[in-house]
Amino acid sequence: MKDKTKKYSLFAGFIVILLLLISLPSYASSYRVIFVTNILMYVILTLSWVIFSGPTGYISLATAAFFGIGVYTSAVLSGTLSLPFVIIIGALASFCLAFVVGSLTLRLRGMYFTMFTFALVQLISNFAHWYEVNVTGTVGRLVLALDSTIIYYSILVVFCLVLLASHFIKRSKFGLALQSIGESEEAAAHSGINVTLVKVTTFAISAFFMGAVGAVMTMRWSYVDPPTAFDIRLSFMPLLMAIFGGMGNLFSPIIGSSIFAYLEEILTTKFPYYYMLLFGGAMLLVIVFMPHGIEGVFRKLQKNNKGQLSEKP
């Protein structure tokens, strides 16, 4: 009974927050809308990263590559197709790239996979730069910028989709297969799971949403180039945000990425020259004192409360 009440309370809270987000442009300033758009971008990237890396334990640093593919796809198609088609094509381009890359590399494990995904970002970024300099004769592309409200609602739709995908994957047989792969890949293979197919498919699904958010965010800028599109920070931020929030349930990465994104905005605005130093210090404190993130802190508090209640006569 308590579990059902808890689920209903969480669902009701989510609906309230969603309604507030839907109505945000009607009562908030343009700055607030842009600010929340940035937070939702990080939330989507973090949730997308957790879809694959959370249950499997594979640490991917390819987020910036798939985000950048979405950015450049959107930049190329800007002004020629409507926004929904641009987003879908950008997401599919990232999905296809991830599927091909995953098919070739997801037999690697541990640090070798992490190193490859990091190198993938540099490879694609440098190739895009080479192509523009030697083929198109330009560096970067002009983009048809859209109204911030349109971008906000587009990001909100992508957020709802990645949330639904995360929920259904976690509660499906596919999610159980991912969990078993994370616990023991050999045991999962012996139990009849097509380990490679499950990993590659999940990797591509996570990249789909990364590409989608990249395609949307392009419309905020009037100009994009390889360093902007394939910003390596976007490979590390979702990882750090997931660690900060925890990955045991669906809401922990959302809370962690929201707080982290807010912290980044405050530090870059008020302390631009000390931003990286303060950010690094904050992350070190989190790793030392909160090794399991915010989720671990809540679990510890719940255990302490239960212990105190059981001790009472």
Q: What is the pLDDT of residue 147?
A: 85
Q: What is the pLDDT of residue 295?
A: 67
Residue 289, token pair as written in the block:
């004192």
Please state, in angstroms and rounded to a whole number, the distance separating the CA atoms of residues 26 and 20.
Answer: 10
Q: What is the pLDDT of residue 187?
A: 85
Q: Name residues of the chain where pLDDT drops below 70.
A: 1-8, 10-11, 290-293, 295-313
Residue 121 makes CB contacts below 8 A (sequence gap 6+) with 61, 62, 64, 65, 68, 230, 232, 235
DSSP 135: I
* Residues 4-35 pLDDT 10s: 666 667 667 778 888 888 888 888 888 889 88
Please state, in angstroms and rounded to a whole number, the distance separating the CA atoms of residues 280 and 282.
Answer: 5
Distances from the Cα of 301 to the Cαs of 258, 297, 304, in angstroms?
21, 6, 5
Q: What is the pLDDT of residue 216?
A: 93
Q: What is the pLDDT of residue 296?
A: 64
Residue 285, token pair as written in the block:
């404190």
Q: What is the pLDDT of residue 281?
A: 76
Q: What is the pLDDT of residue 302?
A: 61
Could you state, in order of their start, the residue ranges of all structural domains in the chain? 31-232
Q: What is the pLDDT of residue 264?
A: 80
